[in-house]
Amino acid sequence: MNEIGMGISEAERAVEAAIVTVAAWSGKRLRYRAVLGGISNTNFQIEVEDDPVRYFLKVPGKGTEMFIDRKAAVAASKQAEEIGIGPMTFDYLNHLDIEIAEFIQGRRPSTHRDFSDPAIRGEAVRAYRRFHQAPALPLTKTVFDMIDEHDEQVRQLRGYQPPDHAWLRRQYLEARAALEASGLDLAACFNDPMPGNFLIGDDKSIMLIDFEYASNNERLYDLAIWSGEMFFSEQIDREIIEEYFGRYDTAHHARFIVLKALADIKWSTWAMVQNRISTLDFDFYKYGIWKHMRARSIITDPRWPSLLKTL
């Protein structure tokens, strides 16, 4: 753990300058260390003298204001706390767009392997359902809004576009038209199912962290993007649908698969924005290329036209 004054990097010095301004911590010995994980921001654990709470502090990454509404993220974090699926939050540095939450002890970040356990998958589905059933968030941002936003940002930044970008764009617009014609089912959505954003307890219970991308969005998109992130099979997708809705439905499954493709388009395009602006040590180009490839694999499936008709 570093003491105040020991910071070497720009991020460490920024954290020191910020935490010494917290009135509740005035006069206390403060220590901090970097926390690994995440591909957009710089994270730290904070220890405060005589305080049993350990704090998690997030410093926004360069350029993330292009697609993250920090006030909306704080509101979503607070809502998750209130319904019991997120950590305690603290408004000490909200004015600096620096999030502070409880550093939850006794839980560990999930891995992809964890979700091969049906009991853990079931807990995650129930956590999603609780968040979806909560009141609407202050920000409505659908997957369509996200894709259009990132597409324009890539254009302005002169970022990488795949050779078949125009074709992918047409497939997205066709899928969007079909989904909008069927009607969107908006709910408070998490929108960011990286494994590290699920904290697992010894009892296999789940808590969610990191609500930067949370918004009112298509309900099934939230489950579809989670499935894609965890590489679930279609059989597991069927089980998720049955667990969530209480029964399996082919129309829900068609919607699920189409939304998986849109999720990959969204994150592949997001990655190409990050590839132009981020200073973090992460290969966003490789990540984006892989997401493009998986989106194509879904769209070129012979079932794609019938899936759109089923919506």
Express each pLDDT in 53-66 by its tens digit.
999 999 887 788 88
38, pLDDT greater than 80: no
Mean pLDDT taken over the chain? 95
19, pLDDT greater than 90: yes
Q: Which domain holds residue 93?
A: 2-102
Q: Does one domain contain both 199 and 83?
A: no
Predicted model pTM: 0.92
Distance separating alpha carbons of residues 145 and 98, to the nearest angstrom: 25
Q: Does one domain contain both 248 and 229?
A: yes
Q: Which residues contact 142 (CB under 8 A, 6 or more apart)?
A: 184, 186, 215, 216, 217, 218, 221
DSSP-assigned beta bridge partners for residue 186:
218
CATH code of residue 67: 3.30.200.20
CATH code of residue 126: 3.90.1200.10
230 backbone dihedrals φ, ψ, rounded to 5°: -95, 5
Q: Output the six-digit token pair for 164.
A: 């078949």
Q: Output the six-digit token pair for 44.
A: 């730290």
Q: Does one domain contain both 22 and 55?
A: yes
How many structural domains compose the chain?
2
Contact 252, 241 (CB under 8 A): yes
Mean of pLDDT values over 254-277 = 97
Distance separating alpha carbons of residues 225 and 256, to the nearest angstrom: 9
Give the ranges where the chain is alpha helix by DSSP (H): 10-19, 70-82, 118-133, 143-157, 165-182, 219-230, 234-245, 250-277, 284-299, 304-310
Crossing angle of helices 143-157 and 165-182, in 10° steps, is 160
Last residue of a domain, one of 102, 123, 147: 102
127, pLDDT greater than 90: yes
Q: Does one domain contain both 158 and 270?
A: yes
Last residue of a domain, one of 44, 72, 102: 102
Mean of pLDDT values over 280-291 = 94
Q: Does one domain contain both 55 and 185?
A: no
267, pLDDT greater than 80: yes
Last residue of a domain, one of 102, 131, 151: 102
pLDDT band at 281 (very low <50, low <70, confident <90, very high): confident
Q: Does one domain contain both 162 and 97?
A: no
